[in-house]
Amino acid sequence: MLLLKTFFARTALVLLCLATLASEAALGQSLSPMRAEVVTFGDVGAVRTSLRNPYTTARRFDIEVFDLDWNKVDDARLTRKTLSLAPGATTSILALLPVTDENPRSVYVCASSRSYRPTSAGLRGQVCGRYQVIKRQL
Amino acid sequence: MKRLVIGVSASALFVASAAAQTTDDVLFNGTVGDACTVVADTDGTLALNGTSTVLGSAEAGGAAGTATVTTNNTTFNVTIDPIAAFTTGPADADTNTTFATQYDAAGATTATDVDGATPTTLGNGVTNLTVDAAATKTSGTFSAGTYQLTATVRCSS
């Protein structure tokens, strides 16, 4: 009986977690989260964010990292700088940021959509989430 | 004996009734994160002015681009990323050429003739943006050829 109760309690917990994830994934946002703090005890902080294609057609996305003055951050490493996404699809992006003298280090991770057939004055949508890497000492 | 049975039955009914009325709350928690979605709806079209010195979407024959920005709070800004050069064009396309953008906002945000580099705080909801772009020759005129520039609508926190 006790085993059965434990099983149902665990199943309910898993279902609750899945429901929470599903409700967040259903939001039509391009980057999620848009703000986050990452604590690292090493020399590199890892920022993970989800990119969603809100368009009704497949799009190509460029991922870039900027500092708060909108200068490109050259020492950031991205798992993917350019990618294609099906309509409504979501993918994960990982940005690795070395910790510098600036602590905490704040950056924008931006995703820009690119049309496959631009005209003479093409428009691109860009969404930039703001993330902070904080180095802590052990 | 009969009274005792009736009394016990009544007590049992009362207890059963009290048990049936016991309620407890089941809580459902959820979190909605900050969200900003930018969808570039339509590209614009550049047209040349009468003196061949301005190639812009606001010129006769040109068309502005449109974009939709959707937010779920009021902590986001919109700007147009400065244009540094044509994406495609003749060899002298960028020579003595300056670029400018301008936008109007309607819907959740209201703004008119805002310089592209100037941030506007977005209202909560759907904002419809109309974006104009122009390239101006500070010296000389635009050569014949196909030109293309790209304006980036940026939503940031």
pLDDT by residue (tens digit) across A48-64? Answer: 999 999 888 888 999 99
List the structure tokens of A44. 């590199």
Which one of A72, A123, A124 would you mutate to disrupt binding with B, by most B Cβ within 10 Å of its Cβ?
A123
10-residue averages of pLDDT along chain A (138 residues)? 45 35 40 90 92 88 94 93 92 92 90 73 90 89
Which B residues in the span 81-140 are in contact with A, Cβ-Cβ below 8 Å?
81, 87, 131, 133
pLDDT(B6) > 80: no
Residue of chain B whose Cα is closest to the Cα of A116: B43
Cα–Cα distances in Å, from B122 out to A107, B74, B137?
Answer: 21, 6, 33
Shortest CA distance from A115: residue in chain B: B40
Which residues from chain A sit within 8 angstroms of residue B155, using beta carbons? 125-128
Q: Residue A45: name the closest of A108, A117, A96 by CA.
A: A96
* Predicted local distance difference test score (pLDDT) of residue B32: 85
Task: Report whether A97 contacts A78 (CB < 8 A).
Answer: no
Judge whether A136 is closer than 8 Å to chain B, CB to CB: no
What residues are paired with B101 via a beta bridge? B133
User: What mean pLDDT, rounded, does chain B reach?
Assistant: 89
Q: Cβ neighbours of residue A78 under 8 Å, at least 6 residues apart?
A: A63, A65, A93, A94, A95, A96
For the segment B57-84, what is each residue's pLDDT rounded down to a tens digit? 999 999 999 999 999 999 999 999 999 9
CB-nearest to A118 from B34, B70, B148 is B148
Q: What percent of chain A has pLDDT over 70?
A: 74
Cβ density class B59-83: b for 16+ within 10 Å, e for less: beebbbbbbbbbbbeebbebbbbeb
- In angstroms, the Cα distances linking B44 to A47, A99, B133, B143, B146 are 35, 41, 8, 20, 14
Contacts of A112 in chain B (CB under 8 A): 152
pTM for the model stands at 0.79
Secondary-structure percent of chain B, ordered helix, strand, coil, rounded to 5: 10, 45, 45
User: What is the spatial distance between Cα A10 and Cα A72, in angstroms, rounded to a whole number?
Assistant: 46
What tens digit of pLDDT does each residue of B115-152 get?
999 999 999 999 999 999 999 999 999 999 999 999 99
For tokens 């920005």, name the residue: B69
Angle among Cα A112, B79, A24 to the nearest 5 degrees reads 55
Does any CB of chain B come closer than 8 Å to the CB of residue A54? yes
Predicted interface score ipTM higher than 0.90? no
Phi and psi angles of residue B151, each rounded to the nearest 5 degrees, phi first: -105, 135
Rounded distance between C-alpha atoms, residue B1 and residue A131, angstroms: 79
Question: Which 8-state DSSP code applies to residue A138?
Answer: -
pLDDT at B52: 95
